[in-house]
Amino acid sequence: MKITVMKQTSIGVVANESFKSSDIDKNLERIKWCLWHGNVFKALKILDSLRFELECFSEEQEQHKDAQYKLYQAVDEFYGYIENNSSTIPNYGERYRYGEVISTSFVESTVNEVISRRMAKKQQMRWTKKGAHLLLQVRIKTLNNELRPLFCKWYPNMKQEGEKIIPLAMAA
């Protein structure tokens, strides 16, 4: 999404002798490809060179807030975002080749449907934002098989999985 915004901003950049708008588009496509294939190092390298080339706009035209300066700001912010999140960026190309899921849209749509239904004013029972957030945390712990170990940690006498339940009358 951020790359699309940068491409739209680059349309407004007036080409000068040393830097062409088509070069910006090519670099943004290369960055997108690198990120898709998990090559964060190369993407950061391209972003850094793009930042360096656009840096002259940031100093000269900061007061004017024109397209060049906006593009520099967008590239600079994107660089920081990628650098901060580099350890969590997956290799979608590899996932795709192995037939793994590369989109979370099905999860997001399910969550949106459940939340919007309960948060709507038409419902008899309405959730608060805090209540919905807490419910989602419990649901995530359940799906990740983390809920039972958490309860066992909180309540050490709780029956572990596989243990037999002994009725209280027989235990005495």
DSSP secondary structure letter of residue 123: S
Is 133's pLDDT higher than 90? Answer: no
Dist. CA 61–CA 77, nearest whole Å: 18
Domains of the chain, residue spans: 2-96, 105-158
Where does the pLDDT of residue 93 fall: very low under 50, low under 70, confident under 90, or very high at 90 and above? confident
Dist. CA 57–CA 76, nearest whole Å: 12
Dist. CA 92–CA 69, nearest whole Å: 32
Question: What token pair was written down for 139?
Answer: 């649901």
Question: What token pair was written down for 85?
Answer: 């999140």
Distances (CA, A) of 122 to 41, 128, 131: 50, 14, 18
Task: Tell me the per-residue pLDDT of 41-89, one tens digit each, with 9 for 90 and over.
Answer: 999 999 998 888 877 655 555 544 577 778 888 888 999 999 998 888 8
Where does the pLDDT of residue 129 fall: very low under 50, low under 70, confident under 90, or very high at 90 and above? confident
Task: Tell me the per-residue pLDDT of 103-112, one tens digit each, with 9 for 90 and over.
Answer: 767 767 776 7
